[in-house]
Chain A
Amino acid sequence: MNTADDGRRPYLRPMRGWWKHNPYFLRYLAMEATSILIALYALILLFGLWRLHQGEAAYAAWLAMLQSPWSLALHAVLLPVFAFHSYSWFKIMPKTLPAIYWRGSKLEQAVITRAGIVAALVTNLAIVLVLVGLPS
């Protein structure tokens, strides 16, 4: 395409710092980055399952670890992280689905996102109610 004597010298701009160019890209990176913390929390829960398998004392020690100040601080950080990731996950969800038709017209993507968020809120609320209602 580009020979020395045709006068053409196409200039390709570098991609360095591309994510700083637009707040949309920052939100995208935040969505990707928060998934790492989600994976970390899955490991914590898996560790609990393994401790349960080891017996009652091990499981009780794992529960005690969860109640330590460091663990509570971690949970305080993770709660907004989970909330943001859940929101971003449901925001992208309609992009992954074929068009859904409801009573002859196409369901708007915002409706699918809102339905997902409402389902997540209801599920979480139900879990909290069950836990609060459990005899200690």
Chain B
Amino acid sequence: MPEDSRTIEMEVLRYRPEQDREPFYQTYEVPFENDWSVLQGLQYIKDDLDSSLSFRWSCRMAICGSCGLMIDGVPRLGCRTFLRNYHPRRLRVEALEHFPIERDLVIVADDFIDKLASIKPYLIPKQVRKLEQGEYLQTPDELERYRQFSTCINCMLCYAACPQYGLDADFTGPGILALMHRYNADSRDAGRDARMRLGHSDAGVWGCTAVAYCSEVCPKEVDPANAINQNKMGSAIDYFLRFLKPRGAEK
């Protein structure tokens, strides 16, 4: 065995709907090397200890956003969290908070996917350009206005960090509201009014109470709390301005 090979106890939340009434913890002894991620630990369990364990993963390099887990109660990507940082203590691995558990570490993401579509996450140009007119141009400064909010990988860690989402299933939630802001802030886009019908509501930016833990756990430094809360001022101004506009006025 290599010199740096050690053993760690991984306490994993199991739930097998066909036989378990509710989730329970199962502990595995996992030998690991210094460069092993939590995801690699789970893969070792599945390959060598218990093939019935279910979890999602794909890229192993913090790009695909599939392996979001609660690791010692903190939402993290399994592939960029290392076992060595928990050794010699044991670590606890659970499915992402605030989502229903489908099986073991696999959550039901349907609500997230439905809400993602609801905010029209695509460019809605004011005037659609024909192919021969060329691309929609943008300056580096215009790109900078939304670039940070465009790096989301839909890993849902921010949803697992957001107690408001856990308490109120109608709340659109951090990642998707950040994506809404990303398109609204894009100089090539004219879909703000269509998106903000939802954005101005309690399910939108006003459902956020600025806990801001979403921004702490984001592996891509999107800062959803900033994307959401900077819209509250504009939303409040929109609300009061409509009392000043003549009835039936064009927007």
Which chain B residues have a beta carbon within 8 Å of chain A's beta carbons?
15, 17-18, 22-23, 73-74, 97, 100-102, 108, 110, 145, 163, 166-167, 209-213, 215-216, 223, 225-226, 229-230, 232-233
Contact = CB atoms under 8 A, between A and B. Distances in A.
7 contacts: A11-B15, A11-B17, A11-B22, A13-B101, A32-B209, A92-B210, A97-B230
Given A10-B17, A11-B101, 9 more contacts: A25-B163, A28-B212, A28-B213, A32-B209, A95-B210, A95-B225, A95-B230, A96-B210, A96-B230
A97 B23 CA distance: 41
Interface in A1-39: 1, 7-13, 15, 18-19, 21-22, 24-25, 28, 32
B17 A24 contact: no
Contacts of B167: 15, 18
B225 A7 contact: no
Q: Number of contact residues on A: which range applies?
A: 20 to 34
Nearest to B216: A24
Contacts of B101: 10-13
B17 A7 contact: yes
A96 B233 contact: yes
B213 A9 contact: no
A104 B136 CA distance: 25
A11 B230 contact: no
B74 to A, nearest CB: 7
B169 to A, nearest CB: 9
Given A15-B163, A25-B211, A25-B213, A8 B73 contact: no
A37 to B, nearest CB: 18
Contact of A28 (B73, B211, B226): B211
B99 to A, nearest CB: 8
B211 A95 contact: no
A15 B230 contact: no
A92 B212 contact: yes
Contact of A18 (B163, B212, B223): B163
B220 to A, nearest CB: 16
Given A15-B166, A24-B216, A94 B226 contact: yes
